[in-house]
Amino acid sequence: MIPPAYAPDEARGLWVFLEQEGGQLEGVALELLGKGRELARARGILLTGLLLGHGVEAGARQAIAHGADHVVVAEDPLLAAYTTDAYTNVSARIILERKPETLLLGATPNGRDLAGRLAVRLRTGLTADCTGLAWEEGTGLLLGEVTGFGGGVMASIKCARHRPQMATVRPGIFPLPPSDPDHAGRIESVAVSLEAGEIRTQILERVRHAGVDITRASVIVAGGRGVKGDFGPVTELARLLGGEVGASRVACDLGWIGRDHQIGQTGFVTRPKVALVCGISGATQFSVGVKDAGLIVAINSDPEAPIFEEADVCVVDDLFPVLEALIAELKRRRP
Ligand SMILES: Cc1cc2nc3c(=O)[nH]c(=O)nc-3n(C[C@H](O)[C@H](O)[C@H](O)COP(=O)(O)OP(=O)(O)OC[C@H]3O[C@@H](n4cnc5c(N)ncnc54)[C@H](O)[C@@H]3O)c2cc1C
């Protein structure tokens, strides 16, 4: 066994890495603070946010309002934009000094990059893409729930001997906690020792992603193989309902719609108020991305389709005339 960087009995507290963009915390950081608050309360431990960046005071206050007891802030112009070397080096130094018991990160592109790098640097384990987090009864170890073996089974993973116990969670898995401006917490600035020479990459250009964000949509109309390449009615219905278009992986693989729209294990996890799922069979890998919708309406011509086990409203029919009728009715009401 590789010796741990620090012993479990030296480790204290639950930490959340607070990913930020332009000083504002990413949604997943707030979601993790919400879940972290619940987990910390259950064991009577402190919830600490780790915030790296430059000009991030507002983000630290945002973290306190969303449940952090304490925010450790490392500010430096070299941390203004994410780079693997700078963020790994600074985070690892702070973690080795403060010895958190648990560290949660968002499974965003940067969060995933940092988590993998940190786990190696800290010689600990990492449970990636958790769909649930809980304390194990008796031991108090973190249990990360993941879909395994191609999505066919749910597995609980723990890290018994190394610290911090690390997990990443994708955006949208946990709800956004409410903001409480009266919640009290401590913001602590720590000195950063970082040399430009430690950073092997140089950012030449930043390009803002112009695609859709289905993780924040309150209405989603999703299409799968059953739309047979024609996303017209699905898109029209989504537009009339003020929602976004979602898709199964098959529909994306076939090039009918962009990858930004993919719902599921290898796509996005969504939690809309209403999801209309059209011509999608409802494989576990798809359903994991829509199961927390407030209301699921499934339209499928196969009465045995697994999606009907998840759906609140089941329409056994050809999706095209059903969508046509819904579109006509909405247009009649709101021309
Ligand atoms: C590791 C791994 C990760 C994966 N990740 C994802 C993921 O993130 N997201 C995802 O979606 N999939 C994912 N998959 C694939 C997943 O297992 C399924 O293959 C996929 O979700 C099926 O897509 P579908 O429902 O569109 O197609 P199908 O399973 O082919 O279902 C099409 C459905 O359309 C219905 N239908 C056909 N014509 C009509 C009609 N005219 N009207 C009404 N209904 C009609 C059929 O009855 C059928 O139920 C993953 C698989 C693996 C192994």
Asked if residue 1 belongs to a domain, the reply is no
Nearest CA to ligand 1 atom 11: 248
157 and 77 in a single domain? The answer is: yes
Q: Which of 174, 198, 222 is the last residue of a domain?
A: 198
Asked if residue 309 belongs to a domain, the reply is yes
Q: Quick one: which atom of ligand 1 is closest to the CA of 282?
A: 25
Is 285's C-beta closer than 6 angstroms to any atom of ligand 1?
Answer: yes
CA distances from 132 to 32, 93, 129, 199, 315 (A): 11, 28, 9, 34, 30
Confidence of residue 151 (pLDDT cuts 50, 70, 90): low
Asked if residue 218 belongs to a domain, the reply is yes
- Domain ranges, residue 302: 214-333
> Taking 80 as the threshold, does the pLDDT of residue 297 lie above it?
yes
Supply the CATH number for residue 222's domain: 3.40.50.1220
pLDDT of residue 335: 56
pLDDT of residue 150: 57
Average pLDDT, the chain: 94
Is 305's C-beta closer than 6 angstroms to any atom of ligand 1?
Answer: yes
> Taking 80 as the threshold, does the pLDDT of residue 51 lie above it?
yes
Residue 152 Cα to ligand 1 midpoint, Å, equals 14
Spell out the residues 6+ positions from residue 126 whose beta carbon is closer than 8 angstroms to its own.
115, 116, 118, 119, 166, 167, 168
166 and 26 in a single domain? The answer is: yes
Per-residue burial over 154-186, b = 16 or more CB atoms within 10 Å of its CB, e = otherwise: eeebebeebbbbbbbbbbbbbeebeeeeeeebe
Residue 196 Cα to ligand 1 midpoint, Å, equals 48
Report the C-alpha gap between 210 and 205 in whole angstroms: 15
Q: Which of 172, 198, 224 is the last residue of a domain?
A: 198
Supply the CATH number for residue 153's domain: 3.40.50.620
Report residue 30 as tokens.
């707030």
Asked if residue 231 belongs to a domain, the reply is yes
Asked if residue 209 belongs to a domain, the reply is no
pLDDT digits (tens, 9 = 90+) for 255-271: 999 999 999 988 998 99
- DSSP, res 11: -
Asked if residue 86 belongs to a domain, the reply is yes
- DSSP, res 10: G
pLDDT digits (tens, 9 = 90+) for 77-101: 999 999 999 999 999 999 999 999 9
Kindly report which listed range (56-65, 99-108, 152-161, 222-231) carries the lowest average pLDDT score.
Answer: 152-161
- DSSP, res 9: G
169 and 226 in a single domain? The answer is: no
Report the C-alpha gap between 101 and 141 in whole angstroms: 9
Q: Quick one: which atom of ligand 1 is closest to the CA of 266?
A: 8
317 and 260 in a single domain? The answer is: yes
pLDDT of residue 113: 97
Q: What is the DSSP string of 211-277?
A: S--GGG-SEEEEE-GGGTT--HHHHHHHHHTT-EEEE-HHHHHTTSS-GGGBBSTTSB----SEEEE
194 and 63 in a single domain? The answer is: yes
21 and 159 in a single domain? The answer is: yes
Local structure of 1: helix, strand or coil:
coil
Is 281's C-beta closer than 6 angstroms to any atom of ligand 1?
Answer: yes
- DSSP, res 107: -
Asked if residue 203 belongs to a domain, the reply is no
Report residue 126 as tokens.
């990492």
- Predicted TM-score (pTM) of this structure: 0.74
227 and 188 in a single domain? The answer is: no
32 and 179 in a single domain? The answer is: yes
Report whether 319 contacts 227 (CB < 8 A): yes
pLDDT digits (tens, 9 = 90+) for 180-232: 999 999 999 999 999 999 999 998 988 877 778 898 899 999 999 999 999 99
Report whether 124 contacts 91 (CB < 8 A): no
Nearest CA to ligand 1 atom 53: 150
CA distances from 53 to 13, 73, 141, 265 (A): 22, 8, 30, 30
Report the C-alpha gap between 138 and 14 in whole angstroms: 18
Q: How far is CA 196 from the centre of its chain?
A: 31
Closest by CA to 31, choosing from 92, 108, 137, is 108
313 and 261 in a single domain? The answer is: yes
Mutate to test the pocket of ligand 1, among 252, 285, 316 (most ligand atoms within 8 A of CB): 285
Nearest CA to ligand 1 atom 31: 281
Mean pLDDT score, 58-72: 98
140 and 21 in a single domain? The answer is: yes
Mutate to test the pocket of ligand 1, among 248, 276, 290 (most ligand atoms within 8 A of CB): 248
Report whether 42 contacts 184 (CB < 8 A): no
CA distances from 163 to 4, 7, 49, 212, 244 (A): 7, 7, 17, 37, 41
Mutate to test the pocket of ligand 1, among 234, 300, 314 (most ligand atoms within 8 A of CB): 300
Report whether 36 contacts 47 (CB < 8 A): yes
Q: Which of 198, 227, 261 is the last residue of a domain?
A: 198
Residue 223 Cα to ligand 1 midpoint, Å, equals 9
12 and 152 in a single domain? The answer is: yes
**Phi/psi at 42 (nearest 5 deg)?**
-60, -30
Domain count, the chain: 2
Asked if residue 204 belongs to a domain, the reply is no
Mean pLDDT score, 229-245: 95
Residue 31 Cα to ligand 1 midpoint, Å, equals 29
242 and 167 in a single domain? The answer is: no
> Taking 90 as the threshold, does the pLDDT of residue 111 lie above it?
yes
